[in-house]
Amino acid sequence: MTRPRITRSIEEVTAALRGGQVVAIPTETVYGLAADATNECALELIYEVKGRPKRNPLIVHFASKELAWEAGSEIPDTARRLANRFWPGPLTLIIRKQAAVSPIITAGQETVAVRVPSHPVALELLKFFPRGLAAPSANRYTKVSPTTAEHVVKDLEGRLNLVLDGGACAIGIESTIVDCTQAQPVLLRPGYVTVEELEQTLGIPVMFRNVGGTLSPGQHAVHYAPDAKVHLSEPDKIDHLIAGLRDRGEAPLVISAQTPHLGTSVTWWQIPDDPAEFARRIYGYLREADAVGFKTVVIATPNQDGIGRAILDRLEKAAQSPGTT
């Protein structure tokens, strides 16, 4: 393989997927590394291309909720209610699987993660794959997820042949994941669909568990990480953190909504106050920081209400990486 080629041809991508290739495809959340969910050799190739441990299950994407339910042995009422409200959209549901679902997809577990994306290009492609496309994010394992076709090309050069271009992702962070196999639903990964929206839809509390385990993607302690070392700070404490880093001889990039008091003595990139716009841009900012050559990045954390919880989840995992030297 050489440099991945970007295409807008759904017919070309369909042929490649049917031929057992993995292809990067757009969704409204991030770009995914897709394979035919019925082709076990292609599924194995996903793990190889990403460098992803096989103990981590994959999300299967479908063109409709009716097709998604065919992957399940039982569909709880909670799953149906959430799907009726949020599909197509950035919500992944964990249900008990049918025997026909490959153990490569589920990492040997008796559950499967399913989603119906809202991106029009993805939905058009999925019409040709009624058994679904397995698709984790189209990046190297634990690194920053891609939100444009060009990001995929840079990340997976030499590992991939084809990228289906659907433009920049509208949401910019991975889907919300909810385990619907228990009496009380469990939020495994926060995302654009917020816990407040989940509870409003179901009329019952949703538990939150995001520490360890392999029931779903996104559970690794280090994830979404750039090469730079990431430091997080509450907005009103950021100048103290910056001063400490500078005393150690570091020249950090600062990403925040407000100008640091230290002013022109640091490089500052402004992040929007609007949480949805913050989510849309943050991965691009982290990638650009690496491209420019920053070794240290300081980010002002968002309010934890609504989608802010999902943004903070991604930033906390990114900050667990020691960075590269």
Report DSSP letters for 28-64, one per residue. SSS-EEEEETT-HHHHHHHHHHHT--TTS--EEE-SS
Whole-model pTM? 0.94
Compute the CA torsion angle 9, 15, 21, 26 (nearest 10 deg): 30
**CATH fold of the domain at 5-208:** DHBP synthase (3.90.870)
pLDDT, residue 325, reads 45
Phi and psi of 97, rounded to 5°?
-95, 155
- Residues 75-119 have pLDDT tens digits of 999 999 999 999 999 999 999 999 999 999 999 999 999 999 999
Question: Hey, what are 265's tokens?
Answer: 């003595």
**Which class does domain 229-319 fall in?**
alpha beta
Start-end of CATH 3.40.50.11030 domains in the chain: 229-319
Instruction: Report residue 261's pLDDT band, with 50, 70 and 90 as the boundaries.
Output: confident
Q: What pairing do the DSSP bridges indicate for beta strands 229-233 and 296-300?
A: parallel
Start-end of CATH 3.90.870.10 domains in the chain: 5-208
Q: 210: helix, coil or strand?
A: coil
- Residues 123-146 have pLDDT tens digits of 999 999 999 999 999 999 999 999
Q: What is the mean pLDDT of residues 9-25?
A: 98
Q: 298: helix, coil or strand?
A: strand
Cα–Cα dist 92/108, whole Å = 19
For the chain, give the mean pLDDT: 93
pLDDT of 217 strictly over 70: no
Question: Hey, what are 101's tokens?
Answer: 């679902």
Among the residue ranges 167-181, 227-241, 260-274, the one predicted with the least confidence is 260-274
Cα–Cα dist 149/158, whole Å = 15
